[in-house]
Amino acid sequence: MKIACLGGGPAGLYFAISMKLRDPNAEIVVIERNKPDDTFGWGVVLSDETLTNLAANDPVSAAAIRSHFAYWDDIAVHFKGTKTVSTGHGFCGIGRKQLLMLLQERARELGVELRFQTHVESVAAYAEEYDLVVAADGLNSRARSEVATEFEPDIDVRACKFVWLGTHQKFGDAFTFIFEETEHGWVWAHAYQFDNDTATFIVECSAETWEKFGFGEMSQQESIEVCQRIFAKHLDGHALMTNANHIRGSAWLSFPRVLCKRWSYRNIALLGDAAATAHFSIGSGTKLALESAAALAELVHTEKTLETAFARYEDERRTEVLRLQSAARNSLEWFEDVERYFELDPVQFNYSLLTRSQRISHENLRLRDKAWLENAEGWFQEKAGAAQGTRRAPMFAPFRLRDMELKNRVVVSPMAQYKAVDGTPTDWHLVHYGERAKGGAGLLYIEMTCVSPEGRITPGCPGFYAPEHEVAWKRIVDFVHTETEAKICAQIGHSGRKGSTRVGWEGTDKPLKNGNWPVLSVSDLPWSSENQTPRAMTRADMDLVRDQFVAAAEMADRCGFDMLEIHAAHGYLLSSFITPVTNNRTDEYGGSLENRMRYPLEIYHAVREIWPENKPISVRISANDWVGEKGVTPQEAVEVAKMFQQAGVDICDVSAGQTTELARPVYGRMFQTPFSDRIRNETGMATMAVGNIYEPDHVNSILLAGRADLVCLARPHLTDPYWTLRAAASLGDTVEAWPDPYLPGGDQIRRLAERAAEMAAQDRVV
Ligand X SMILES: Cc1cc2nc3c(=O)[nH]c(=O)nc-3n(C[C@H](O)[C@H](O)[C@H](O)COP(=O)(O)O)c2cc1C
Could you say which of ligand X, ligand FAD, none residue 415 binds, taking C-beta under 5 to 8 angstroms by partner kind? ligand X
Interface with ligand FAD (CB under 6 A), residue from 95, 153, 283, 746: 283
The alpha carbon of 460 is separated from its chain's Cα centroid by a whole number of angstroms, namely 36
Whole-angstrom distance, CA of residue 684 vs CA of residue 664 = 29
Q: What is the dihedral of CA 328, 173, 92, 200, to 10 degrees?
A: 60
Distance CA 200, CA 95 (A): 9
Give the DSSP letter of residue 118: -
Do residues 395 and 727 touch, judged by C-beta distance below 8 A? yes
SS3 146: helix
Q: What minimum distance in Å lies between the beta carbon of 60 and ligand FAD?
A: 20
Of 258, 261, 259, 268, which Cα lies nearest the Cα of 310?
268
Among 202, 309, 490, 568, which residue interacts with ligand FAD (rule: CB under 6 A)?
202
Among 3, 4, 5, 9, binds ligand FAD (CB under 6 A): 9
Pick one of 57, 277, 413, 618: the residue that binds ligand X (CB under 6 A). Answer: 413
Cα–Cα distance measured from residue 342 to residue 345, given in angstroms and rounded to the nearest whole number: 8
- Considering only 266-274, 295-303, 443-451, 501-509, which stretch makes contact with ligand FAD by CB under 6 A? 266-274
Note whether 440 and 720 are within 8 A (CB): no
In three-state secondary structure terms, 92 is: strand
Q: How many residues does the chain have?
A: 766
Considering only residues 447 to 476 of the shown chain, the ones binding ligand X according to CB under 6 A are 447-448
243 CB-near residues (< 8 Å, 6+ apart): 39, 40, 41, 42, 97, 166
Question: Does residue 567 bind ligand X (CB under 6 A)?
Answer: yes
Whichever of 33 and 620 has its CB closer to ligand X, that residue is 620
DSSP string for residues in 433-447: HHHHHHTT-SEEEEE
Q: By CB under 6 A, is residue 11 in contact with ligand FAD?
A: yes
Residue 415 contacts ligand X per CB under 6 A: yes
Q: How many CB atoms lie within 10 A of CB 220?
A: 19
Q: Determine, following the binding rule CB under 6 A, whether residue 699 of this chain makes contact with ligand X.
A: no
CA 330 to chain centre: 6
- The candidate with the shortest Cα–Cα distance to 606, out of 620, 592, 617, 614, is 617
For residues 703 and 720, give the distance between their C-alpha atoms in angstroms, rounded to a whole number.
Answer: 22
Segment contacting ligand X (CB under 6 A): 320-328, 335-343, 563-571, 574-582?
563-571
Residue 76 C-beta-side C-alpha neighbours within 13 Å: 18
135 to 154, contacts with ligand FAD by CB under 6 A? 136-138, 142
- Does residue 508 interact with ligand X by CB under 6 A? no
Query: Pattern 460-489, binding to ligand FAD, x per CB under 6 A?
Result: ------------------------------
Question: Nearer to ligand FAD by C-beta: 285 or 631?
Answer: 285
State how beta strands 43-46 and 91-95 pair. Answer: antiparallel
Q: Which residues pair with 234 in a beta bridge?
A: none
Subset of residues 649 to 668 that bind ligand X, contact rule: CB under 6 A: 655
Stretch that binds ligand FAD, among 29-37, 177-185, 297-305, 743-751 (CB under 6 A): 29-37
**φ and ψ at residue 670, rounded to 5 degrees:** 55, 35
Q: Residues in contact with ligand FAD, total (CB under 6 A)?
A: 31
Binder of residue 273, out of ligand FAD, ligand X, none (CB less than 5 to 8 A by kind): ligand FAD
Cα dist from 142 to 119, 247, 500, whole Å: 10, 17, 59
Q: Does 45 bind ligand FAD (CB under 6 A)?
A: yes
> Could you tell me if 200 and 194 are in contact, meaning their C-beta atoms sit under 8 angstroms apart?
yes
Task: Round to whole Å and give the CA distance between 107 and 295.
Answer: 17
DSSP codes joined into one string, 406-422: ESSSEEE--------BT
Region at 711 (left for phi over 0; alpha for psi -120 to 50; beta for the rest): beta
Nearer to ligand FAD, 119 or 304 (CB): 119
Q: Which of residues 587-606 bind ligand X (CB under 6 A)?
A: none
Residue 714 binds ligand X, judged by CB under 6 A: yes
Binds ligand X (CB under 6 A): choice among 187, 290, 574, 713: 713
Site string (103-132) toward ligand FAD, x via CB under 6 A: ----------------xx------------
166 binds ligand FAD (CB under 6 A): no
Among candidate residues 351, 433, 572, 599, the one labeled active-site is: 572
Is 667 a known active-site residue?
no
Q: How far apart are the first and last CA of the chain?
A: 46
d(CA 660, CA 110): 61
Q: Which one, 44 or 397, has the nearer CB to ligand FAD?
A: 44
504 binding ligand X? (CB under 6 A): yes
Q: Tell which one of 7, 423, 616, 746 touches ligand FAD (CB under 6 A).
A: 7
The identity of residue 297, as a single letter, is A
Options 188-196, 369-377, 566-574, 733-741: segment touching ligand X (CB under 6 A) = 566-574
Q: Residue 38 Cβ, how far from ligand FAD at the closest point, in Å?
A: 8
Stretch that binds ligand FAD, among 267-275, 331-339, 566-574, 613-621 (CB under 6 A): 267-275
Exposure letters 721-748 (e unless 16+ CB within 10 A, then b): bbbbbbbbbbbebeebebbeeeeeebee
- The residues facing 620 across adjacent strands are 567, 653
Closer CB to ligand FAD, residue 270 or residue 397? 270
Q: Least distance in Å: CB of 412 to ligand X?
A: 9
Which amino acid type is present at position 189?
A
Pick one of 3, 5, 8, 368: the residue that binds ligand FAD (CB under 6 A).
Answer: 8
- Least CB distance to ligand X at residue 620 (A): 5
The DSSP string of 673-701 is: HHHHHHHHHHH--EEEEESS--SHHHHHH
Instruction: Determine how many CB atoms are found less than 10 A away from the CB of residue 389.
Output: 8
> Minimal distance in Å, beta carbon 363 to ligand X?
20
d(CA 314, CA 331): 25
372's contact among ligand X, ligand FAD, none, with CB below 5 to 8 A by partner kind, is: none
CB nearer to ligand FAD: give 66 or 481. 66
Of residues 690, 703, 704, 710, which one binds ligand X by CB under 6 A?
A: 690
- Determine if 715 is a binding residue for ligand X (CB under 6 A): yes
Q: Which C-beta is closer to ligand FAD: that of 164 or that of 265?
A: 164
Nearer to ligand X, 339 or 720 (CB): 720
- Report in angstroms how near the CB of residue 615 gets to ligand FAD at its nearest: 52
The reply to whether 692 sits near ligand X by the rule CB under 6 A is yes
| Interface positions with ligand FAD (CB under 6 A) | 7-12, 31-34, 41, 44-45, 119-120, 136-138, 142, 164, 202, 272-274, 280, 283-287, 289
User: Annotated catalytic sites, by residue?
Assistant: 572
| Interface positions with ligand X (CB under 6 A) | 413-416, 447-448, 491, 504, 567, 569-570, 620, 655, 690-693, 713-716
